[in-house]
Structure 1
């Protein structure tokens, strides 16, 4: 947001409503300056509308406070004779127009506390609601309540790809907690309810990016920990052609393997953090090659061991436990994991940072780190306040964080690095970052391909599976009953 956009937003969202509220307070014999104090002005509106004082406590509860604030605003404007649904909606949605309008309107007067019995008796004809209005208000309330629950507490999520198998399966329906890491306030607040980034059927944007608020997260129960299964916004949606705001980027689910400040590496498909082998997820699987004595493997064995072929009968994906079991069958001559050798670069330059070079690195030859999906790093995960030395080897690793996620202008002039027009050889990070990987290590596009996940992209923690549907199952066996209400490990 540039300075002009900031000034316009300040005038529309704060200055104009405060001017109008000042005049409305004065009409109720209250000092106008009280309208300038956040939260306290809501308390004054609460008192003027006749609601009990304990409602003010509800304003301190995340999520609930939003509904309570709307209720206070509606009661407040009723106290000035604005009884219609259109007027009340205008007061909330177009406050920068209607609050000043009614504040300076000589015909608009304070009639008394709208929540009191005397007021309701005196204006009962005006307050009487038609059945259509009652239905409309009920629908609006239901939409607001559901939106608040999804934003601040818990949200449903579906596993669309096999990147987390065998821990999570395609067709698993999860509940994701926003409370564990702290709910992230909407950064793009003007959006169609229940649509994430695209409107169903018409495929247009479901949000307006003309107003983007700064990142802020409410206090949570814990930080993101290594081993947590985390839903986050896909960082690459920041790039053209999508250019989506942070909270409207596609939702991804992976396991956190590295936290801020950790040094992470992958050696022969085993993750190491700070020099120690990380615990392997219970359902982790990779690709194996095997040969038989001539007899093909019984399909029932593959089903029992949960082996996936993906079109190649001797090139399969399975867990280590399944591979050890398969090795014991008499018709298996050999079986070995398909591990890319150490010190050999990915032949297609498909791993980070080579896969998605941006900005000043887009047309430059990057260093050969000799990394691949099975042998990667070591790499230091940025931590808020950590200062990194920038040179030919480190700059490509952190340039995306500096330019895209932390909104700096980055240039290269000869051998010099310029950040926001100033020559520098260091950078201090403003956010924490995480390293996310899928449990299905050879069928997961994750941090090995596109790098770090910034803290402002974190959505929530996967809690439990409430439903699981097998798209390949028969009609009577669609539901995986054994997975219902299973916790996510």
Structure 2
């Protein structure tokens, strides 16, 4: 019997892990834990452009909450950890779209509210010219023709959750009627003044031509970008707060918004309808679709809602002599399956937003911007790259 106990103990002795195995287990655990945190709780995001200045600056690093609006279950589950759509160095795809899951979202703490700053997948990022992503593929095709673009660039398609991440302010929520006149947005007929950090072009007139531009720098103006339009007046990009302080100076005669008249047609704007001659300062009214809302289909509404019905909600649409056909059935109306939003950048004249590509579908929403954890100024000197005041 003692001999049997000896052999049993010997057979059940637990082998010690090697150092390599311990490191491998630790790395696997860290990758899995970080991936789950990134998907379901919080994710870091860096501001790539100036479309949200002065609210958010290029080089600001944010934490984006997945909890506030409810975490979106991955729609493209097979992907390389920590890469979005493209692998670093190699430039190849960081995911495999052979497996696609339907859109589902966990319960959140709240719905998206007006004026929330939201990170989302670019709706028109479904098709991309890899060598030229600015402007979008659709803009390139409209400017140069499909054949020309497909012969010059590598064209690829991306699933919803692998489209480019961008950040804007939510201006309108499902069911709202949004419009803009002379640079001021109205929601459901009520004007919404510019936020204190929003930027627009202003025409500034002075009482004298002898101007101390150091004062402008102190107020936050970028003096090098101010355009002189007459001996005593300049065009400058500024926030309402900056203009309010400027008007108090005794050498300033006036300062007012410089916007386009409503007779100007910018052309390449949503909804690309020849009957709607809109521009970035004057558009609408537009009703934002909500889940369960039914719209009547006609020549007025279809330019607004065609892409939402066809592309975002996955329906086949055809125009025939006797009317519109949805999924091969004659339809006089359509009931939306998702909620939609209207997004705009705070730097109003330097933002590609809903004025250009239309509604944001709810399945494209990534999360809510929480706070800046670091602000990095690439243009500053080595010792001043961190913007301490913005962190």
**How would you bin the TM-score normalised by the shorter chain?**
0.7 to 0.9
Deviation per CA, 1:332-351: give whole Å up to 9, x if none: 45533221123x2424x122
Say which of 319, 327, 352 aligns to 2:270: 352
The range that moved more, 394-403 or 130-139, is 130-139
- Name which of 200, 203, 218 aligns with 1:304: 218
Q: Relative to 1, partners in 2 of residues 1:122 and 1:224: Cα closer, same or farther, differing over 3 Å?
A: farther
- Per the alignment, residue 221 of structure 1 pairs with 109
1:260 to partner: Cα distance: 0.6
Q: Deviations over 1:154-180 (max 9, x none)?
A: 011111111111111111111110000
1:405 partnered with 2:325: no
Question: CA 1:131–1:437 in structure 2 vs 1: closer, same or farther (change >3 Å)?
Answer: same
Q: More strand per residue: 1 or 2?
A: 2
**Cα deviation, residue 183, structure 1:** 0.4
- Within the candidate set 146, 152, 162, 1:248 is matched to 162
Shift of 1:452: 0.4
Larger Rg: 1
Residues 121 and 214 of structure 1: CA distance in aligned 2, closer, same or farther (over 3 Å): farther
TM-score between both structures, scaled by the size of structure 2: 0.85
Q: Give the aligned CA root-mean-square deviation in angstroms.
A: 2.1
Q: 1:232 aligns with which of 111, 115, 120?
A: 120
Deviation, structure 1 residue 185: 0.7
Does residue 341 in structure 1 map to residue 261 in structure 2? yes
Alignment coverage as a number of residue pairs = 352
Summarize deviations over 1:440-470 as a string: whole Å, max 9, x none.
Answer: 1111111111100000000000111111122
Q: Which one of 60, 75, 83 corresponds to residue 187 of structure 1?
A: 75
- The offset of 1:204, in angstroms, is 1.0
What CA distance in whole angstroms lies between the structure 1 residues aligned with 2:323 and 2:283?
28
Which residues of 2 match residues 442-453 of structure 1 at below 5 A? 442-453=349-360
Alignment of 1:257 onto 2:175: no
Any conservation in 1 of the 2:340–2:360 contact (CA below 8 Å)?
A: yes
1:275 lines up with 2:275 in the alignment: no
Q: Work out whether residues 115 and 170 of structure 2, in 8 Å CA contact, stay in contact via their aligned partners in 1.
A: yes
How many Å separate the matches in 2 of 1:265 and 1:300? Answer: 38
Q: How does 1:134-173 map to 2 (within 5 A)?
A: 134-173=22-61
In 2, Cα distance between the equivalents of 1:331 and 1:242? 55
Match of residue 385, structure 2, among 470, 478, 483: 478
Q: Hey, what does 1:94 align to over in structure 2?
A: none
Partners of 2:242 and 2:197 in 1: CA distance: 11
Give, in angstroms, the shift of residue 130 of structure 1: 1.8
The alpha-carbon distance between structure 1 residues 481 and 417, as it changes in their structure 2 partners (threshold 3 A), is same
Q: 1:345 to 1:123 in 2, by over 3 A?
A: farther
Deviations 1:262-320 (A, max 9, x none): 11111222211111223532301101233456746444222222223547353321012
Whether 2:330 is the aligned partner of 1:423: answer: yes
Partner of residue 390 from structure 1, selected from 297, 309, 328: 297
Higher relative contact order (CA 8 A, sep 6+): 2
CA contact (8 A) 1:260 1:432 kept: yes
Query: Counterpart of 1:132?
Result: 20
Distance verdict in 2 for CA 1:476–1:218, change over 3 Å: same
Name the counterpart of 1:87.
Answer: none
- SS, match of residue 270 in structure 2: coil
State the distance in 2 between where 1:315 and 1:152 align: 45
Partner of 2:288: 381
Q: Is the 1:346–1:373 Cα contact (8 Å) retained in structure 2?
A: no
Q: 1:297 to 1:236 in 2, by over 3 A?
A: farther
Match of 2:277, SS state, is: coil
2:345 is equivalent to residue 457 of structure 1 = no
Shift of the alpha carbon at 1:328? 4.4
CA contact 1:295–1:331 (8 Å) conserved in 2: no
Q: Distance in 1 between matches of 2:364 and 2:54?
A: 25
Distance of 1:391 and 1:149 partners within structure 2? 46
Unmatched tracts of structure 1, length 5 or more: 1-118, 355-365, 485-489
2:239 to 285, 301, 319: 319
